Amino acid sequence: MAILAHEIVEEADAMRDNTIPDEQKYTWLSRFEKELHDTLYRFYTPDVSVPDAVTADTPLSIPEAFADVYISYLALKIDYANGEIDRYNNDLQLFSSYKQSFAEWFHVSHTSNITATYNAL
């Protein structure tokens, strides 16, 4: 089941006290969805479309099992916007790790039809 954008925003807000409007967070999620499409999805599933804009009820593309990718992304954006650079740097490391794990899973799950051949000498 797809996770909705407002669920991610609510989790990120629970982790970080902030006054950033939800609309800004949806804009950040929209940009991130476009980045995922341009840097990952299009190489495996070129027919996948990206929503023009993410709203509260937009289903996001990463499965719920990898929701920490989105949550850590919003946390780092919030911390950067608040000028909390040390916290931002920590968030960036977490986000990079979560994103890498997702990308590896996505790669494996979308290349399972490729078979290797082995020729015995």
- 116, part of any domain: no
- 45, part of any domain: yes
Taking alpha carbons only, the member of 66, 68, 99, 84 closest to residue 20 is 84
CA distance 15 to 6: 14
Which ranges constitute the DSSP H helices of 40-84? 42-44, 68-81
- Distance from the first to the final alpha carbon of the chain: 47
- 101, part of any domain: yes
Q: Domain of 101?
A: 5-110
Arithmetic mean of pLDDT, 84-101: 97
Q: pLDDT at position 86, please? A: 97
Query: In total, how many domains does the chain have?
Result: 1
Cα-only R_g, the chain: 17
Whether residue 115 has pLDDT greater than 60: no
Whether residue 113 has pLDDT greater than 60: no
User: What's the pLDDT tens digit per position in 93-110?
Assistant: 999 999 999 999 999 988
**Beta bridge pairs of residue 59:** 4
